[in-house]
């Protein structure tokens, strides 16, 4: 059974995702890359704001793997964007 804190985390994350989709759509700036980056930022903020200082439940300990995966995808997006910006022939 999900705890109260877990539901608070889930509600905050869903609210952030919906606000992100709505904001990017209203601004006409929606792209999957931008959605991912803003969602990752929101995920990290929600993880920090809903964390407790005492005992860490098992479900929160598993969030580190999601964070690592998200940061790896973010790094790949940044590298790809940098390679698009740099002139051809810089790296080979």
Mean pLDDT value of segment 64-79? 95
For residues 53-85, one letter each, b for 16 or more C-beta atoms within 10 angstroms of the residue's C-beta and e for the rest, the string is eeeeeeebeebeeeeeebeeeeeebeeeeeeee
Token pair of 26 as six digits: 């209203």
Q: Helices in 1-92 by DSSP H: which ranges?
A: 4-27, 32-49, 58-61, 63-85
Residue-wise pLDDT tens digits, 34-46:
999 999 999 999 9
Residue-wise pLDDT tens digits, 1-55:
468 888 999 999 999 999 999 999 999 999 999 999 999 999 999 999 888 777 7
Q: Are 43 and 13 in contact (CB under 8 A)?
A: yes
Stated pTM of the model: 0.84
């Amino acid at each position: 059974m999900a705890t109260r804190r877990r539901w608070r985390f889930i509600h905050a994350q869903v609210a952030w995702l919906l606000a992100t989709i709505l904001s990017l759509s209203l601004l006409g700036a929606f792209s999957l890359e931008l959605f991912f980056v803003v969602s990752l930022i929101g995920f990290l903020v929600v993880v920090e704001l809903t964390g407790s200082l005492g005992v860490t439940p098992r479900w929160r300990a598993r969030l580190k793997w999601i964070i690592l995966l998200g940061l790896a995808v973010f790094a790949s997006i940044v590298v790809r964007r940098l390679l698009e910006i740099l002139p051809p022939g810089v790296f080979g």
